[in-house]
């Protein structure tokens, strides 16, 4: 019940989210540190699983964009960004809770974040309406916003393993703490998304916002399903689904605001709710099956 309560609470208390949103990166850091303490450094190595998923993600993002762009450029851009953006930094935590491969999702997350950092500025400049920053500046900002949050908790976990094994083992034995921290993070993220959508609502844009929300829902469900199909071929449907379906929506909102029509950022803002509803449902089912 904790996850639905966190989501409903975030939606109800959205006016106050601006006071606690700053906590999100710290919560993610702690979650990742706890999770990475159960992973071996040698497990991080890209293989066909990660390469196939990366190819599927890039291809699917182009299909979505060209399928919608002749209908509505704003909707096309908003839904496209929900597919193109990299895996969420919290994806390894949820994958671990669901019994998937922590090392596979971590490896894919690093790979796709670097791929988006390199290709993103050029791709977004091509599909965007208002490119405001240069290629190199954009790549630098994407890297500095994403990569440190992925690498720093991993480095700390590996240093603890090497130099303070007792501390490392103590953290590794308390994996359940990630679930409770994620519930708090979910409360903040959902509240922030509701606040963002309400603050950007305009009567004349109602139908566009509805289509953006529905488009985000469709690609969210599709990516979880396609990811699970790819993962199942490698004996790990959970990791495939989380790698492809769980997205770094905060980065997506920033990219949409920088490159696209600002209203397009409603799509990734709604994607937050959709992916967390799916994750909450998966976690509840997983707990029932244990």
> Cβ contacts of residue 34 below 8 Å, gap of 6+?
93, 171, 172, 174, 175, 177, 178, 181
Phi, psi angles (nearest 5°) of residue 100:
-85, -175
Q: Which domain holds residue 188?
A: 2-289
pLDDT in tens, the chain (290 residues): 676 787 788 778 878 877 887 887 788 788 778 877 877 777 677 788 889 999 999 999 999 999 998 898 889 999 999 999 888 877 887 888 888 888 888 888 878 877 887 777 677 767 766 555 666 766 676 666 666 766 788 788 889 988 898 888 888 887 778 778 877 877 887 777 777 777 777 777 789 889 999 999 999 999 999 999 999 998 889 999 999 999 887 777 777 777 777 788 889 888 988 998 898 888 888 777 65
Give me 147's structure tokens: 């990569």
CA distances 92 to 97, 98, 284, Å, are 9, 10, 17
Which residue stretches of 128-236 are H helix?
A: 135-163, 165-172, 176-199, 206-232
For residues 98 and 152, give the distance between their C-alpha atoms in angstroms, rounded to a whole number. Answer: 24
Four-point Cα dihedral 248, 228, 78, 3, nearest 10: -60
Q: Write the CATH number for 167.
A: 1.20.1530.20
- pTM of the predicted protein model: 0.79
Total domain count for the chain? 1
């Amino acid at each position: 019940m904790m996850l639905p309560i966190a989501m409903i609470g975030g939606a109800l208390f959205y006016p106050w989210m601006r006071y606690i949103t700053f906590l999100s990166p710290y919560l993610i850091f702690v979650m990742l540190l706890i999770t990475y303490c159960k992973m071996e450094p040698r497990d991080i190595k890209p293989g066909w699983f990660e390469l196939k998923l990366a190819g599927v993600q890039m291809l699917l993002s182009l299909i979505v964009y060209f399928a919608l762009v002749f209908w509505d450029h704003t909707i096309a851009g908003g839904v496209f960004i929900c597919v193109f953006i990299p895996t969420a930094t919290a994806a390894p935590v949820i994958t671990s809770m669901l019994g998937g491969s922590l090392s596979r999702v971590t490896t894919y997350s690093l790979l796709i974040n670097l791929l988006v950092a390199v290709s993103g500025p050029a791709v977004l400049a091509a599909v965007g309406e208002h490119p405001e920053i240069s290629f190199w500046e954009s790549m630098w900002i994407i890297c500095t916003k994403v990569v440190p949050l992925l690498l720093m908790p991993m480095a700390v976990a590996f240093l603890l393993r090497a130099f303070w094994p007792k501390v490392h083992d103590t953290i590794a034995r308390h994996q359940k703490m990630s679930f409770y921290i994620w519930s708090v993070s979910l409360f903040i993220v959902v509240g922030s998304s509701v606040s963002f959508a309400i603050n950007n609502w305009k009567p004349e844009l109602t139908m566009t916002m509805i289509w953006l929300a529905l488009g985000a829902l469709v690609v969210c469900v599709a990516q979880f399903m396609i990811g699970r199909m790819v993962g199942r071929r490698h004996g790990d449907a959970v990791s495939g689904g989380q790698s492809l379906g769980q997205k770094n929506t905060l980065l997506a909102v920033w990219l949409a605001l920088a490159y696209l029509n600002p209203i397009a950022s409603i799509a990734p803002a709604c994607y937050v709710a959709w992916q967390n509803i799916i994750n909450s449902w998966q976690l509840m089912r997983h707990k029932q099956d244990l």
